[in-house]
Structure 1
Amino acid sequence: MRLTVVGCSGSMSGPASPASCYLVQADGVDPGGRRRTYSVLLDLGPGAMGALLNHVDPAALDLVAISHLHADHMVDLIGMQVYRRWHPDGGLAPLPVLAPSGALARVRGVGGDDEAEDYAGEFTFSEHVPGTAVQVGPLRIESFPVNHPVPAYGIRVSGPSSRPGGPAEVSLAYTGDTDACDGVVALASGVDLLLSEAAFQEGRDTVRGVHLTGRRAGEVAASGGVRRLVLTHLQPWTDPEVVRAEAQGAYRGPVDIAAAGAVWTL
């Protein structure tokens, strides 16, 4: 299983990266017995659609999972709709989209199209259901409610190990946007890689119920016994090394900072 950062800038696109978008891939066998690569996208924020073209043909995606419906995590679904409807090779099959309730209305509002445009030809929407896994080839996707001002979900993806001699199955957890809560602790429990937002900074951002700090992300990683912590969703005005140091004060494992184009192989 491989994680590729398409975009990781927090709350907006930044000078070095689009906003939130993460590509998870694993090789498997399709129902016809042919080997292929399965591709799942976690969020699709501003600027991510263009950057995605550097990593995978959007026509090859199997699922898009949207953590929540704030614009910095979903607005480039409009670009995906255009790509799928108007591709010169002909309209592409509807792409499954796993999202919170109300996603279709939210996308329609961003797109600004008339009522005749229902997006049914481009997307098939389904809602996150905690406790119920979605299987995409060898990848298993699970949803965990987390603490944010709008309905939001952390997403856990489990799949085959890419490393010879490694465990048969590995897992990663993506927090989406959340403050500390029971849901994010359950999400992170025992994963090989925790991709955690850390949009807030200790001593600078005091409002609660919105985002994690580096320290709180480190505490989640430590309590969950995760093997690696990757901090993401840092706004352009934040010094990554300050947030990394906060996390390292609470978590003894390796702490990385997400960057556009970075890849982790599990």
Structure 2
Amino acid sequence: MRLTVLGCSGSTPGPHEPSSGYLLEAGDFALGVELGNGTLAELYAARDPLTLGGLVFSHLHPDHCADFSALTVLRRWHPDPSVDPRAHRLPVYAPKEAPSRFAAAYAPDREELTRTDLSDIYDFHPLAPGSRRIGPLEVTTFEVNHPPETYGFRFTHGGRTLAYTGDTGVCDSLDALAAGADVLLGEASWTHSDERPSGVHLSGLQLGELAARAGVSRLLITHVAPWTDPQAVLAEARVVFEGDIALVERGASYPV
């Protein structure tokens, strides 16, 4: 598997930095993981968006899914007559409200909203804890600790595992999600402080502690907010995790 970062800015886009979005490739199969503000342009730079085999969304905050409407325009209005997205509906794995939420974002006005249905080009699958196959990947879903319905994932292929926290505060399910992963892609939106609200995001310290407990081989830090010093987040994680660790970068690819 290979992970390519389309964007990694937490909560909002940052200067020259799209929000959350990732491309996970296993052989010829490509899975989009999140599609936040500005990430469709980055996906274009990596590969043709029409070649995706599926999309996975941890939750429906805009910084993780805002570019879905732009993808819908592309899939419905691509000028090449040989491209027919309706001939193959793109599988979309997301929280249960995704079909209505994405339709509302795409509809041009309130009147059209009642008639907007995206099921002609997408095949929606509601998420729940458990395992399923997505292409060649074994994907295990965990509910995590974030204000809306939110999930983290384990992606396994060829004996290798990528664990992705999604957005989350500290919770018991994170230990099972990360256990023994070859790569942990983890959010750390801010530095550690007892004044931070619980059940929203991880600090660099908390993410490092998770990686150490889980015995992961490599920790990749993502979702650092634009108003947070990423080097400070990295330094916190390094205090408690002695393994391979890095801040992810837009456009960079990482083997799993």
TM-score bracket, normalised by the shorter chain, equals over 0.9
Alignment of 1:195-214 (within 5 A): 195-203=185-193, 206-214=196-204
Cα-to-partner distance string for 1:115-155 (whole Å, 9 max, x where unaligned): 3320112211101121232231x222111100001110001
Q: Where do 1:111-130 residues align within 5 Å?
A: 111-113=106-108, 114=112, 115-130=114-129
- What residue in structure 2 maps to residue 40 of structure 1? 31
1:34 counterpart residue number:
none
Counterpart residue number, 2:67: 76
Contact 1:16 1:260 in 2 (8 A): no
Residue 170 (structure 1) aligned to one of 160, 168, 174: 160
- For 2:174 and 2:47, the matched residues in 1 are separated by 29
CA distance in 2, matches of 1:135, 1:64: 9
Q: Judge which range, 84-93 or 233-242, deviates more.
A: 84-93
SS state of the match for residue 154, structure 1?
strand
Residue 204 of structure 1 deviates from its aligned partner by: 7.9
Unpaired runs of 5+ residues, structure 2, are none
Q: How far apart in 2 are the matches of 1:262 and 1:205?
A: 33
d(CA) in 2 for partners of 1:53 and 1:199?
A: 26
Distance in 2, Cα, partners of 1:204 & 1:23: 34
> Which aligned pairs between 1:53-132 and structure 2 lie closer than 5 A?
53-90=44-81, 91-92=84-85, 93-113=88-108, 114=112, 115-132=114-131
Aligned to 2:150: 152
Task: Please say if residues 173 and 188 of structure 1, whose CA atoms lie closer than 8 Å, have aligned partners that are also in contact.
Answer: yes
Partner Cα separation in structure 2 for residue 229 and residue 5 of structure 1: 14
TM superposition outliers: structure 1 runs of 4+ over 2 Å: none
TM-score relative to the length of structure 1 = 0.90
* 1:53-99 deviation per Cα after TM superposition (whole angstroms, max 9, x unaligned): 00011111001000001111111110111111101124312211000
Residue pair 1:201, 1:214 contacting (<8 A) in 2 also: yes
Partner deviation per Cα, 1:168-190 (whole Å, 9 max, x = no partner): x1010111100111111111011
- Matches of 2:253 and 2:150, distance apart in 1: 25
Whether the 8 Å CA contact 1:172–1:191 is kept in 2: the answer is yes
With over 3 angstroms needed to count, the CA separation of the structure-2 counterparts of 1:96 and 1:146, relative to structure 1, is: same
Alpha-carbon distance between aligned partners in 2 of 1:66 and 1:249, rounded to the nearest angstrom: 31
Is the 8 Å Cα contact of residues 192 and 228 (structure 1) preserved in structure 2? yes
Aligned residues: 248
Do the aligned partners of 1:45 and 1:71 also contact (CA within 8 Å) in 2?
yes
Deviation at 1:215, TM superposition (A): 0.5
Give the Å deviation of 1:101: 1.1
Question: Counterpart of 1:98 in 2: which secondary structure?
Answer: strand
Question: What RMSD over aligned residues (CA atoms) do the two structures have, in Å?
Answer: 1.3
